[in-house]
Amino acid sequence: MWDELNYRGLVHVSTDAGELKALLSGPPITFYCGFDPTAPSLHLGNLVQILVMRRLQLAGHKPLGLVGGSTGLIGDPRPSAERTLNTKETVAEWVGYLQGQVARFLSFEGDNAARMVNNLDWTAPLSAIDFLRDIGKYFRVGTMLKKDAVSARLNSDAGISYTEFSYQILQGMDFLELYRSYGCVLQTGGSDQWGNLTSGTDLIHRAEGVSVHAIGTPLITNSDGTKFGKSEGNAVWLDPALTSPYAFYQFWLNTDDADVIERLKIFTFLSRAELEVLERAVETEPFRREAQRTLAYEVTALVHGVPATDSAIAAAGALFGQGDLAALSSDTLGAAIAELPSFAVTRETTITDALLGTGLVASLSEARRAIAQGGVYLNNVKVADESVQVAGSLLAGGFAVLRRGKKTLAGLTAAE
């Protein structure tokens, strides 16, 4: 299992490699990974962690999925700036959403059934005095200041609040609590979390005199230097209400050749042999994008299920096909448009209104600019006049396809 994680490039930093290798190939252990509710849904960065948990569970180990009801209230220090605190009600609501998302990837049956935990359960009852006496004594300020997350902020002109400075203690406490309650001996997380991971292993060492382990996965980056997990400048979410399965599939399909194999290793469960075949395909016939297609299919199916993935592919086929959109049946067209953001148009709706209504542009000015630049297409026909009404262009079933640029699509439907 240890070798498998390394092959997939999932280990960036870790505690003693020899011990971890023995631990992971021995009898089942209990491990945990935490997710903080900073948004109503998890995103692709979190998916890496979820899949690591799934891999470890498939290898026989017992996962504890932690959603940070308390740490989410405090805020993990980001390198750039202080976080804005969310209300307790909001965080509590998000905890529920995240638990559901994490749970979908784990099995809650059998000998190594997963379990969901919330750190608010053991943090909330703790008084400030007990916290400072029982936990605070184990932490040295010098060590805490040296953590990357903290020192980066101290060196920036944003500074850091006492609240965020304390975050590492809370996360350390989680590991200790899970060690005591469930015998948890391994924590996984992003390598940017390394400081917080070791805060836990150090605490357990001091409090219990026991060595436990941590694995930090690499931060996923695009080879062209842009941020991974952003599409159209927006995050790619796991919640289908925030990122449709269609958009999700498209995101993966557009993966750079230089990144696709690495992505397959991290985000799919394909075997080594299958991966090698795809690697050759990228080299010899990249234009077929076989690796990208496989990646998009596998990940979308994993996250949204096979039926949703099939409709996303069918929709893409209909909308990107070279053929005439007018030749499609209203059923096919309607199903494809259902995957896109859409907008109901009336007789008076102009092309600029439609662009704004579908969210393809943020303002009327932007709509005009897009048209002037030749970047707007209605049913695959370039739009030149910003004042045309769109009702006349509706196809079978009262649908029309509005496109901005090469691949940003939206659907129009007839009102009433």
Partner RNA sequence: GGCGAGUUACCCAAGUGGCCAAAGGGAUCUGACUGUAAAUCAGACUGCUUCGCAUUCGGGGGUUCGAAUCCCUCACUCGCCA
Q: Is 284 helix (H, G, I), strand (E, B) or coil?
A: helix
Q: How far apart are CA 246 and CA 249, in angstroms?
A: 5
Select 78 or 369, whichever has its Cβ closest to RNA: 369
Select 355 or 395, whichever has its Cβ closest to RNA: 355
Select 178 or 367, whichever has its Cβ closest to RNA: 367
Select 89 or 162, whichever has its Cβ closest to RNA: 162
Q: How far apart are CA 137 and CA 148, in angstroms?
A: 21
* Closest separation in Å from C-beta 253 to RNA: 5
Select 67 or 253, whichever has its Cβ closest to RNA: 253
Beta bridge partners of 214: 187
DSSP 8-state assignment for residue 232: T
E strand spans, 191-293: 213-217, 230-231, 234-235
* Closest separation in Å from C-beta 284 to RNA: 11
Q: How far apart are CA 22 and CA 66, in angstroms?
A: 25
Residues 391, 347 contacting (CB under 8 angstroms): yes
356-368: buried (b, 16+ CB within 10 Å) or exposed (e) per residue?
Answer: bbbebbeeeeebb
* Closest separation in Å from C-beta 322 to RNA: 9
- The contact set with RNA (CB under 7 A) reads 154, 157-160, 224-226, 230, 232-233, 250, 253-258, 286-287, 289, 292, 316, 320, 362-366, 368-370, 373-375, 404-408
Select 48 or 355, whichever has its Cβ closest to RNA: 355
* Closest separation in Å from C-beta 416 to RNA: 25
Q: How far apart are CA 200 and CA 186, in angstroms?
A: 10
Pairing outcome for strands 213-217 and 13-14: antiparallel
Select 116 or 242, whichever has its Cβ closest to RNA: 242
Tokens of 91: 């965080």
* Closest separation in Å from C-beta 257 to RNA: 5
* Closest separation in Å from C-beta 158 to RNA: 5
Residues 349, 357 contacting (CB under 8 angstroms): yes
Q: How far apart are CA 371 and CA 355, in angstroms?
A: 10
Residues 158, 80 contacting (CB under 8 angstroms): yes
* Closest separation in Å from C-beta 179 to RNA: 34
% helix, strand, coil for the chain, step of 5: 50, 15, 35
Residues 374, 306 contacting (CB under 8 angstroms): no
Select 1 or 356, whichever has its Cβ closest to RNA: 356
* Closest separation in Å from C-beta 28 to RNA: 41
